[in-house]
Structure 1
Amino acid sequence: MKNYLSLKDHVYNHIKNLIDTGSLNKEDKIVEQQIANELGVSRTPVREALLQLASDGYLENIPRKGFKIKELTEKDQEDIYQVIGLLDGEAASLAVDYLTEEDFQQMNFLIDSMDIAVKNEMFPKYNQLQKEFHDVYINKCGNQKLIETIEQLKRYLLNSDYTIQKNENLSALLDAANKEHKQIVTYLKEKQKETAQRYIQEVHWHTKNAEYDTW
């Protein structure tokens, strides 16, 4: 039996895609009627989708002003990085015994793909690939609540400037991040649980990286 998306879900996915691709900027005002007209739906599913996006961390609902992309302070990002580091590291430790050779091949393929993306300044593509990389081992941790919590926290970081605009130092930063991905794979393949956990927490998700959100 096929799973059919509701109108709200279609609207949700449409707006989320606009945010993820940078088509919708932080300065843009989100107008319910405009979205309804574009998609040929009533305002009700649009309103429901916007409320869900706000609940999921993509948007913020400002009284009497409406919805806009959620902006984070530097302290917000540092706090989120600290928590993600703890949870991501724990997920990696739990996943070690369940990762297969196919998983490692997939992670190495994604690392190579990220190298290509960086060299060609395809920064939004890099963002997508690095998420897929982490998802390989996170999804093998065996703890669904942990997986969902990490996903929820990462949603707050989706609106990174580097997915929208270029930075003269960005290629070097992303290259450094991808070298860390290679080190993570090494520790996981060698089943060094504690080392992988510490490295992910203390190096890969170190709060100093929150300024760039490239990880």
Structure 2
Amino acid sequence: MQAPKYQSLKDHVYHYIAEKIQDGTLQPNQKINEAEICKRLDISRTPTREALFQLASDNLLVYIPRRGFTVKAFDSKKKLDYSQIIGVLDALAATLAVERLKPSELMRMEELVDKIDADIDKRYFEDYYSDQYRFHEIYTLNCDNPTLIELLGSMKNSFIKQAYTSDDKEKLARVLKQVNGEHRKIIDLFRTANKAGLEAALQYHWRIIDDEML
């Protein structure tokens, strides 16, 4: 795998590992194999280590001296803390993006909602995670606040995958259908430029899906 020319080597490693965390390939508390990453990406140890320390700084990994890096795990309190912060920040991004979203972008959000329904029906939960991320990314990238975009990206990467975990796939599917219904309501709020509604809807949307629901 060759690193894209527009990325530094450190960024290439960073995004590679972040994606593996996001899609569930790397699980909470799993140790990162630095040698394997260097070999797979054909990248030297220095940019790999730089990326790992950056991932630790961004709360995706934990660094343990003399033992290396592991994927950060979230307990119930940490999940709640993150969900509250992400809800507020995502709501802010949405209200800032209201006047900036193009009709074509709203149509793309509708297409993703339909795709998410199909993901859930087929029990393609990995596709669900990536498609719902793209849904929220459309308006987030239109908020015209690079600092907010960067902060949300970092928090979501480390949080989303761990927010919805269940061994009961049928119950998980029912819950995710409910969550996707909220995506449709969010689109309607964007169409009517209802900032107060968006703020309330998104803060609720990022709540923790708890054990009683799953």
Give TM-score, length-normalised by structure 1.
0.85
What is aligned with 1:35? 37
Cα 1:211/1:103, change in 2 over 3 Å: farther
| Matched residue SS, 1:87 | helix
The reply to whether residue 70 of structure 1 matches residue 72 of structure 2 is yes
Q: Residue in 1 aligned with 2:183?
A: 181
- Contact conserved, 2:120 with 2:173, CA < 8 A, in 1? yes
**2:7 is the alignment partner of 1:5:** yes
Aligned to 1:191: 193
Q: 1: distance between equivalents of 2:163 and 2:79?
A: 13
Aligned with residue 54 of structure 2, among 52, 55, 61: 52
Structure 1 residue runs without a partner (length 5+): none
Give the aligned length: 210
Q: Does 1:126 align with 2:140?
A: no
Decide whether aligned partners of structure 1 residues 194 and 53 sit closer, same or farther in structure 2, where only a CA change above 3 A counts. Answer: same
Change (3 A) 1:89 1:4: closer
Task: Mark the CA change 1:198 to 1:62 in structure 2 (over 3 Å): closer, same or farther.
Answer: same
Deviation of residue 145 (structure 1)? 1.9
Name the amino acid aligned to 2:16.
H
Aligned-pair Cα RMSD in Å: 2.6
1:61 matched to 2:77? The reply is: no
Which residue number in structure 2 is paired with residue 94 of structure 1? 96
Give the TM-score, by structure 2 length. 0.86
- Structure 1's consecutive aligned runs of 4 or more residues displaced over 6 angstroms after TM superposition are 163-166
Structure 1: how far apart are the matches of 2:115 and 2:86? 24
Select the residue among 128, 141, 148 that pairs with 1:139. Answer: 141
Letter of the 1:205 counterpart: W
Q: Secondary structure at the match of 1:182?
A: helix
Q: Which amino acid aligns with 2:104?
A: E
Match of 1:205 in 2: 206
Note the C-alpha offset of 1:6: 3.5
Structure 1 pair 176/13, CA: closer, same or farther in 2 (3 Å)?
same
Q: Percent identity?
A: 38
Aligned match of 1:103 = 105
Q: Distance in 1 between matches of 2:42 and 2:168?
A: 34
Structure 2, unmatched stretches of 5+, are none
Partner deviation per Cα, 1:142-201 (whole Å, 9 max, x = no partner): 222222222122122144275897634110111000000000111110111111211211
Do 2:10 and 2:50's aligned partners in 1 also have CA atoms closer than 8 Å? Answer: yes
Give the Cα separation in 1 of the matches to 2:196 and 2:35: 52
> Which one is further off, 183-192 or 30-39?
30-39
CA offset digits 1:87-125 (Å, max 9, x no partner):
111221121122221111011001001011000011111
Pairing partner for 1:157 from 156, 159, 164: 159
Please, which moves more after superposition, 180-189 or 153-162?
Answer: 153-162
